[in-house]
């Protein structure tokens, strides 16, 4: 069931006129920005921790331009279903699709979203917008996301997992934020005193993109991966490498020896709940949950949580997996609505608009915002660690059938964490199934020798 929000106009951003914002980008000589009196548009979006900040940013757009935006708000899976139905209809219901990292390539490769510069050749991407692994571009000839492709979308929420840790406990113990997995394990063990305090609480439940998403920073931070080289079109499966085994063994060891006894049944809500109730010293969680930590109506640890990039092995960079959201314009809507959608995206990518997002509790997609005074405020202490981590974020999937691979990972990882199968059997089994999926879709693929 969806909730339809008709966003009211409000007197926000007074004085931030179209001309002023346009000159800030240096594009005024190319085209007028943020045109008024364009067609109303409808955006299909998921209900999420960052939705409220997006809604408030849309309100600011309406106030600044007088243009109308309707939001069709749905659960995660419901949003995808509505998008798939709309883009395959004779005329689409939705003008802007808010696409998750798990399915945006499906929309690109299927021709379901129009390149933004095909709609408006004068559109210029703000140079300080995070391109998030160049996932906003698509090269149809190479069939991959790459900077030499066409501009297909604008980032909406640059979500990656971050390490949340109890800064007050670290200060008492004289510890620094962990940079390596060895640091994280040692510190988790130090604070582990169940049932009152768990050293770390991890997600292990099976879902649409649940345990797999939380495992990526461990997998890539150990130097592992799922495929050999997606950008080069080589989908040889490398999940069951020695690095992959080390990562999964580490994840399971943390859960069993310094974590929650019900890790295999823990989803995002349970992980967050453990932290805000003061029963977890660490969690690795998507940054969108930051505001709950300091919400006095939800949290018993207000002002006690700090953030750091996910740890990695010595010599390797942090490697959080992208779980971001992108805004693309549907191909099967009238031209006037496409042009109106471009106007919204032009406005949304500006530093001023992204400051509105930050002030509303959202995660900015504009790098300059992270250098503003707001990033020095105690409330926004997560911003600088996030800015350090974002350049290292990993785009996990570059092909439209990613959901099939995710489903395999969800089941295999959950079973391994629950102790139903060994890590070796889980990794070999998942790798074999993934290789069959890729071969079935005629990708260049291969397999490693099974782990022993």
pLDDT over 70 at 303, yes or no: yes
Contact 427, 252 (CB under 8 A): no
Contact 277, 300 (CB under 8 A): yes
**pLDDT tier at 22 (50, 70, 90 boundaries)?**
very low
| DSSP SS3 for 94 | coil
Q: Does one domain contain both 147 and 211?
A: no
Closest among 413, 365, 361 to 393, alpha carbons compared: 365
Per-residue model confidence (pLDDT) at position 36 = 61
pLDDT tens-digit readout, 169-185: 999 999 999 999 999 99
Closest among 47, 50, 48, 67 to 7, alpha carbons compared: 67
pLDDT over 50 at 129, yes or no: yes
Backbone angles phi, psi at 39, to 5 degrees: -60, 145
Per-residue model confidence (pLDDT) at position 103 = 86
Count of C-beta atoms within a 10 Å radius of residue 14: 8
Q: Does one domain contain both 235 and 291?
A: yes
Q: Does one domain contain both 61 and 201?
A: no
Per-residue model confidence (pLDDT) at position 165 = 98
How far apart (Å, rounded) are the C-alpha atoms in residues 106 and 185?
A: 38
In a domain, 185, yes or no: yes
pLDDT over 70 at 111, yes or no: yes
Closest among 6, 41, 14, 18 to 340, alpha carbons compared: 41
How far apart (Å, rounded) are the C-alpha atoms in residues 326 and 176?
A: 35
Q: Does one domain contain both 262 and 206?
A: yes
Tokens of 384: 């600088």
Per-residue model confidence (pLDDT) at position 383 = 97
Q: Does one domain contain both 293 and 436?
A: yes
Query: What value does the mean pLDDT of the chain take?
Result: 91
pLDDT tens-digit readout, 265-293: 999 999 999 999 999 999 999 998 999 99
pLDDT over 90 at 10, yes or no: no
Is the pLDDT higher at 270 or at 401?
270
How far apart (Å, rounded) are the C-alpha atoms in residues 305 and 325?
A: 25
Per-residue model confidence (pLDDT) at position 231 = 85
**pLDDT tier at 143 (50, 70, 90 boundaries)?**
confident
pLDDT tens-digit readout, 221-233: 999 999 999 988 8
The helix (run of H) or strand (run of E) holding residue 191 is: helix 181-191
In a domain, 448, yes or no: no
Per-residue model confidence (pLDDT) at position 208 = 86
Q: Does one domain contain both 228 and 332?
A: no
Which structural domain, as residue segments, surrounds residue 418? 161-320+396-440
In a domain, 447, yes or no: no
Q: Does one domain contain both 178 and 90?
A: no
pLDDT tens-digit readout, 331-370: 999 999 999 999 999 999 999 999 999 999 899 999 999 9
Half-sphere exposure for 128 (CA within 13 Å, toward CB): 15
Per-residue model confidence (pLDDT) at position 35 = 57
pLDDT over 90 at 18, yes or no: no
User: Average pLDDT, stretch 157-166?
Assistant: 96
User: Average pLDDT, stretch 297-321?
Assistant: 98
In a domain, 242, yes or no: yes
Q: Where are the alpha helices (DSSP H) in 259-334?
A: 268-276, 290-293
Q: What is the 3-state secondary structure (H, E, C) of 128-188?
A: CECCCCCCCEEECCCCECCCCCEECEEEEECCCEEEEEEHHHHHHHCCCCCCEHHHHHHHH
In a domain, 98, yes or no: yes
| Boundary residue ending a domain (381, 408, 429) | 381
In a domain, 89, yes or no: yes
In a domain, 305, yes or no: yes
Backbone angles phi, psi at 90, to 5 degrees: -60, -45
Q: Per-residue b/e over 270-287, b at no fewer than 16 CB within 10 Å?
A: bbbebbbeebbbbbbbbb
Per-residue model confidence (pLDDT) at position 49 = 81
pLDDT tens-digit readout, 70-104: 999 999 888 999 999 999 999 999 999 999 988 89
Q: Does one domain contain both 411 and 267?
A: yes
Contact 103, 326 (CB under 8 A): no
pLDDT tens-digit readout, 372-390: 999 999 999 999 999 999 9
User: Average pLDDT, stretch 421-431?
Assistant: 98
CATH of the domain at 22: 3.40.190.10
Q: Does one domain contain both 281 and 424?
A: yes
pLDDT over 70 at 252, yes or no: yes
Tokens of 303: 């002002």
pLDDT tens-digit readout, 28-76: 333 445 556 789 999 999 998 889 999 999 999 999 999 999 999 999 8
Per-residue model confidence (pLDDT) at position 34 = 53
How far apart (Å, rounded) are the C-alpha atoms in residues 196 and 200?
A: 12
Residues 6+ apart with CB under 8 A from 292: 49, 272, 276, 298, 299
In a domain, 452, yes or no: no
pLDDT over 60 at 8, yes or no: no
Q: Does one domain contain both 186 and 200?
A: yes
Q: Does one domain contain both 278 and 351?
A: no
Structurally, how many domains does the chain consist of?
A: 2
Q: Does one domain contain both 179 and 249?
A: yes
pLDDT tens-digit readout, 439-450: 999 999 999 999
């Amino acid at each position: 069931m969806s909730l339809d929000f008709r966003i009211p106009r409000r007197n926000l951003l007074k004085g931030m006129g179209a001309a002023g914002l346009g000159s800030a980008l240096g594009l005024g000589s190319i085209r007028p920005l943020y045109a008024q009196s364009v067609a109303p548009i409808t955006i299909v979006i998921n209900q999420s921790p960052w939705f409220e900040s997006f809604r408030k940013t849309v309100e600011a757009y309406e106030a600044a331009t007088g243009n109308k935006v309707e939001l069709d708000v749905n659960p995660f899976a419901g949003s995808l279903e509505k998008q798939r139905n709309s883009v395959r209809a004779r005329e689409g219901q939705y003008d802007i699709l808010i696409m998750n990292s798990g399915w945006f390539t499906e929309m690109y490769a299927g021709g379901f979203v129009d390149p933004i510069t095909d709609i408006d050749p004068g559109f210029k991407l703000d140079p300080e917008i995070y391109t998030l692994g160049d996932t906003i571009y698509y090269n149809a000839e190479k069939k991959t996301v790459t900077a030499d492709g066409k501009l297909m979308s604008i980032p909406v929420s640059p979500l990656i997992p971050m390490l949340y840790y109890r800064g007050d406990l670290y200060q008492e113990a004289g510890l620094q934020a962990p940079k390596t997995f060895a640091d994280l394990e040692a510190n988790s063990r130090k604070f582990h005193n169940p049932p009152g305090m768990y050293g770390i609480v991890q997600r292990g439940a099976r879902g649409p993109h649940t345990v797999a998403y939380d495992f990526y920073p461990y997998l890539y931070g150990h130097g592992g991966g799922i495929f050999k080289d997606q950008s080069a079109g080589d989908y040889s499966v490398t999940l069951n490498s020695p690095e992959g085994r080390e990562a999964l063994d580490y994840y399971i060891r943390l859960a069993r020896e310094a974590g929650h006894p019900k890790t295999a049944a823990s989803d995002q809500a349970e992980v967050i709940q453990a932290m805000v109730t003061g029963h977890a010293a660490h969690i690795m969680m998507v940054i969108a949950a930051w505001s709950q930590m300091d919400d006095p109506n939800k949290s018993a640890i207000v002002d006690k949580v700090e953030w750091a990039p996910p740890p990695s092995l010595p010599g390797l960079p942090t490697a959080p997996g992208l779980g971001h959201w992108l805004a693309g314009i549907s191909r099967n809507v009238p031209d006037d609505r496409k042009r109106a959608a471009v106007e919204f995206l032009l406005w949304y990518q500006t530093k001023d608009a992204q400051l509105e997002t930050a002030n509303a509790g959202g995660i900015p997609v504009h790098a300059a915002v992270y250098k503003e005074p707001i990033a020095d405020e105690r409330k926004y202490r997560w911003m600088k660690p996030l800015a350090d981590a974002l350049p290292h974020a990993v785009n996990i999937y570059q092909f439209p059938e990613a959901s099939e691979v995710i489903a395999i990972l969800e089941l295999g990882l959950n079973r391994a964490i629950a102790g139903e199968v060994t890590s070796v059997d889980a990794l070999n089994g998942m790798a074999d199934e993934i290789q069959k999926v890729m071969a079935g879709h005629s990708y260049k693929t291969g397999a490693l020798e099974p782990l022993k």
